[in-house]
Structure formats: C-alpha cells, structure tokens
Amino acid sequence: MGGRSGVDRAVADALRERYPKLNEALPKVNGFRFFPSQGLVCAASVLFVGVKQLREFGYSNIRDFGRKTLTSLAGEAPQTGHLALTLHGAGYGLDEREAFESEVAGLMDAVISGDFPPSLTRISIVERNPGRARRLQQSLEQLIAGGRISLDERTRRSVDESLRSVGYSSASKPYVFVAMPFADSMDDVFHYGIQNAVNSAGYLCERADQSSFTGDVLDWVKKRIAAAALIVADLSTANPNVYLEVGYAWGCGKPTILTVRQPEDLKFDIRGQRCLVYRGSIRSLEEMLRKELAPLATPARTTAGVE
C-alpha cells in the first residue's frame, strides 16, 4: 500500500470491523486485493492496489496505478459500473496538474486498450478540497471535452495523442521547488500566487506538504531541492523549516527567488537579499513571479497552467 493515509486509511479502518486481519491481507507492491464492503462504507466493494512508499511514488507510478486499477477490476469485478478513486501525488508535494493528468492517462490506457470492466459507465476522482476540485475540473475539460470518454476511434486516438507522454516523461521535465509554511492560510498563496506563474513559465511546481522535517521527509526535500531548476521560497511568518530549505538551496548553488507578505517577517541575513514583497495581494505575487520567471521560461510544458 505504500503507507496508508487519507481515504485509504479511513476505508481500511472501517473494514477492519469485519476483517480484523486486514493488514496482513493487504497487497504488496504491484498486487491488489478486492473486498466486499458489507455496508461498512458507501461503496459496495473496495479495491486495494499495492504501491511504493509515497516518497518513491512518482508521476509514472501514478499513471501505472490508474491503469492497474481498471485492469484489476476487469478481471476481479467485471460487473463494476462506477469507480471512485482519489488523486495521488498532489497531497505529498508533486505538481498537482501533472499528477492529475498522469492518473487520467493511466485510466485512459486501460480504456483505450479495452482492458476495463465492460459494465463501467462512470469514473469519479473524489477530492475534498473545493479549490483543488475546481482546478482539476478545469484541467479535465482541457483533456477530455465535457469529461465524457467516447469509444469511437477518432476520439480515442485524439485522447491517446494528448496524453501519450504524460507521467512517463515527467521525470525529465524541469521543476521549481517551493519552500513555504505548511498551513491552510498559505494554500491560496501557493495555488494562485505561485503555482500559476511557475506552470505558465513551463515548469512543474512542487512543494513539501509537511509541517516538520524528520527522517525520510527531510531526505526527500533535500533530493528535490538538489534536482530542482530553481527555488521559490516564501518567508512569511519566518518559518524555520523554510529558512532551512533556503540555506540548503544556497548550499547547492540553486537560483532562488524570495517572496514575503510583509517585510517585517524577514529575519537573519535575508534582510540584505532581494525579496518580492506582495503585502497580502496574491494577484500581485503572481504578476511579480511571472515577470521574474519570464526570462527563464521553458517550452517543456505547453499548457498555460490552471487559472
């Protein structure tokens, strides 16, 4: 399972009432197990798919997961009419849109190859964050008009071409690592002030969605900083983890763009560094970042980002 969290943890906890040895029965990497829910959750049945640990679960793995889900159901539960699953990747730092497109591409791989339950009429990707749900709906409209998959040859070929390299080529795309406080109050700053500008410049946009750096989280952060094209660091609230990330980025010689909501938040030697001050205006932050990133824009990403 790669470590349970979110919905899969909640479902596993609910099923344990009827399946006390559930943990021992859960699949290893690349395996799957199918359980009737017996009324313990709203879905009639639950499919668990074994994946790598989250920190090793990249875009190509997300695409493989999407395909594996449908191909597993094709053999195990061909009567499935509605599949509901969650988005993987965005909750632990990967680029939200790239992760979503990778998952959709994996589902489409199975559909195009005909390896899916013949009774399937609907696939839902469930998201509890309203803002993310809206952004993903817009992304889906750009990928598949109306969100409806037609099985005629022309439509299948068109979708296949638009998603052919998604996920598999992601590891070679340049990305910006964003260092910022982990807090709900900063979500809009990231998604609308930073992510839009970064995606528009042709970069994937990643960040560490963790409140403290320990163990494998710190190792993952260091690896992502070391491999990033550049760093954007928001120093609002003088969060010590963000300063740690900035110091490591400088030690790696990474170009870094500093931002802050109020100049009074700046601490230590940062006061002498150039910093974009946006004074609470997310729109002004996005505009300033777009100007900063314009000379560095890459054609690697052809879409303009989610607005």
- Whether residue 229 has pLDDT greater than 90: yes
Domain 174-296 has CATH 3.40.50.450: yes
Sequence-separated (6 or more) residues with CB below 8 Å from residue 113 = none
Q: What is the structure's pLDDT at 154? A: 67
Among the residues of the chain, which ranges form H helices?
6-15, 22-25, 59-76, 96-113, 130-143, 153-163, 187-188, 196-200, 215-227, 240-251, 282-293
Pairing, β 256-260 against β 230-234: parallel
**47 pLDDT band (50/70/90 cuts)?**
very high
CA 197 – CA 290 distance, rounded (Å): 5
**pLDDT tens, residue by residue, 246-304:** 999 999 999 999 999 988 888 766 666 889 999 989 999 999 999 999 988 776 543 33
Average pLDDT over residues 71-78: 94
Angle at 230 between CA 229 and CA 233, to 5 degrees: 150
C-alpha R_g of the chain: 21
- Higher confidence at residue 190 or residue 53? 190
Using alpha carbons, select from 193, 147, 206 the residue that is nearest to residue 287: 193
CA 145 – CA 265 distance, rounded (Å): 45
- Where are the domains positioned within the chain? 55-75+89-116+125-172, 174-296
Matching residue, tokens 């591409």:
105
| pTM for this predicted structure | 0.86
Q: What is the structure's pLDDT at 219? A: 84
Contact between 135 and 195 under an 8 Å Cβ cutoff? The reply is no
Average pLDDT over residues 138-166: 75
Q: What is the structure's pLDDT at 127? A: 87
**pLDDT tens, residue by residue, 90-146:** 877 899 999 999 999 999 899 888 999 999 999 999 888 888 899 999 888 888 777
Q: What is the structure's pLDDT at 145? A: 74
